[in-house]
Amino acid sequence: MFDAIVIGGGPGGYVAAIRLSQLGKKVAIIEKENFGGTCTNKGCIPTKALLTSAHLYQEIVEKSSKMGILVDNVEYDLLKIMKHMEKSVTMSRKGIEFLMKKNKIEVFKATGKLKDNETVLLEETNEEIKGKNIILANGSVPVVFSPFDKIPGVWISDDVFKMEKFPKSLLIIGGGVIGVEFATFFSTFGVDVTIVELAEHILPFEDKDVAEEIKKVLKKKKVKIIEGTKIENIEKEDNYIAEINGEKFEFEKVLLAVGRKPNITEDILNLGIEVKRGVVTNKHMKTNIDNIYAVGDVRGEIMLAHVAMYEGIIAAHNIVGESKEMDYSAVPSIIFSNPEIASVGLKEKDIDKDKVNIWKFPISANGRARTMDERVGFAKVIEEKETGKVLGVTVVSPNATDMIMEGVLAVKYQMTSHQVAEAIHPHPTLTETLLGAFEGKLTIHI
């Protein structure tokens, strides 16, 4: 019998397995496809590889001449872009496989189904394995709904990674993280992109000023953005004919990018595990069945790889008898648009503005940004008026996804804006944009 069986080899699952092994436990992990889950194979890694190619292309086209670098006839090769993506995925996947071997975790390439609270059936071989504890890390699947599930050839994000040529025109349904990242990628290479978003503005989980900054950039790339609207009808003829606000538009391809949902399988329900939006757990990651835990997207809460990883660590420590709780107060959210977006903690839309100070510092006033010919973006800090504690940080900037850790630490450890601003920041760097926001009314423009 194993000390723990992990079902699913994505970020939450493989990290939990590694930590359990490091803590001296005998561990099995079951993965029916490839290690790394959605993030490595169909999400974070492939999209960022594609966006890195797009960003490099855009930099050369838009900036090289201004900066004295003369490049003639800039072209791209989609086949090589896709090969770069595939190599990034393969290397990431192989790294995880190596860690399984290094940590002496027994790997089963199969579909794992719960038989009872200690037994997992490997469907392909009809073998049963037993564990004192089970961690569900089943992940998520793309949301597909009517009428799009009945129309042939509609893309979900997975299909983009198999693309052999760019479409001339693309309708993206959904202006959230996935939609905006793919709009950034396709429009960079000249595809005629239209985003339709049901909410009041694109990136509906971010503040409106963030969405407005990204809209400026996307519109400069000739992306059409239609907000507060849903597709009234769509049909497939030679191309796709979509009815939007009473008008008909034609597109070569349609990408449904409205997010993902927990992968709740019948065996989970049959065992009596509590499910609402996803599998319900407490802060120890334990379900209503005492020795069964759940981590990552299957919970249907904060569906981010880095959250799944930390949940996996918390579950592992609780399985070995420690008492650790998840703290979701300082979870960073990142978007690889161009410029990038990163945020942590509270946002303006979440707060009583009478109880806070909101400080913003523009990228255009940052010395390093000027050397990079970057003007769009800002850093924003929300602090509690009474105490000066940092409640939230948002950055729209090149490298924002790397810069946000300063905000994460400030929110997690309840630092004041003054405490963060007292730390000497290197000059000239983009992080001084954050310094300007933390300094608030004391800001000196350099």
What is the structure's pLDDT at 359?
Answer: 95
Q: Is the per-residue pLDDT at 146 higher than 90?
A: no
pLDDT band at 446 (very low <50, low <70, confident <90, very high): very low
| Chain segment 31-73, per-residue pLDDT in tens | 999 999 999 999 999 999 999 999 999 999 999 999 999 998 9
| Chain segment 189-214, per-residue pLDDT in tens | 999 999 999 999 999 999 999 999 99
The 3-class SS string of the chain reads: CEEEEEECCCHHHHHHHHHHHHCCCCEEEECCCCCCHHHHHHCHHHHHHHHHHHHHHHHHHHHCCCCCCCCCCCCCCHHHHHHHHHHHHHHHHHHHHHHHHHCCCEEECCCEEECCCCEEEECCCCEEEEEEEEEECCCEEECCCCCHHHCCCCECHHHHCCCCCCCCEEEEECCCHHHHHHHHHHHHCCCEEEEEECCCCCCCCCCHHHHHHHHHHHHHCCCEEEECCCCCEEEECCCEEEEECCEEEEECEEEECCCEEECCCHHHHHCCCCECCCECCCCCCECCCCCEEECHHHHCCCCCHHHHHHHHHHHHHHHCCCCCCCCCCCCCEEECCCCEEEEEECCHHHCCHHHEEEEEEEHHHCHHHHHCCCCCCEEEEEEECCCCEEEEEEEEECCHHHHCHHHHHHHHCCCEHHHHHHCCCCCCCCHHHHHHHHHHHHCCCC
Domain limits, CATH 3.50.50.60, in the chain: 2-141+261-319, 148-256
Q: Which CATH architecture has domain 148-256?
A: 3-Layer(bba) Sandwich (3.50)
| Chain segment 9-24, per-residue pLDDT in tens | 999 999 999 999 999 9
pLDDT band at 445 (very low <50, low <70, confident <90, very high): very low
pLDDT band at 440 (very low <50, low <70, confident <90, very high): confident
Stretch 361-368: mean pLDDT, rounded? Answer: 95
Q: Is the per-residue pLDDT at 132 higher than 80?
A: yes
What is the structure's pLDDT at 443?
Answer: 56
Topology, domain 333-442: Enolase-like; domain 1 (3.30.390)
What is the structure's pLDDT at 232?
Answer: 85
What is the structure's pLDDT at 190?
Answer: 97
Q: Which CATH architecture has domain 2-141+261-319?
A: 3-Layer(bba) Sandwich (3.50)
| Chain segment 307-325, per-residue pLDDT in tens | 999 999 999 999 999 999 9
pLDDT band at 441 (very low <50, low <70, confident <90, very high): low
Stretch 395-424: mean pLDDT, rounded? Answer: 97
pLDDT band at 420 (very low <50, low <70, confident <90, very high): very high
Domain limits, CATH 3.30.390.30, in the chain: 333-442
What is the structure's pLDDT at 442?
Answer: 58
Q: Is the per-residue pLDDT at 147 higher than 90?
A: no
Pick the catalytic residue from 284, 317, 427, 445: 427
Indicate if 418 belongs to the active site: no
Stretch 370-388: mean pLDDT, rounded? Answer: 96
| Chain segment 259-298, per-residue pLDDT in tens | 899 999 999 999 999 999 999 999 999 999 999 999 999 9
| Chain segment 83-103, per-residue pLDDT in tens | 999 999 999 999 999 999 999
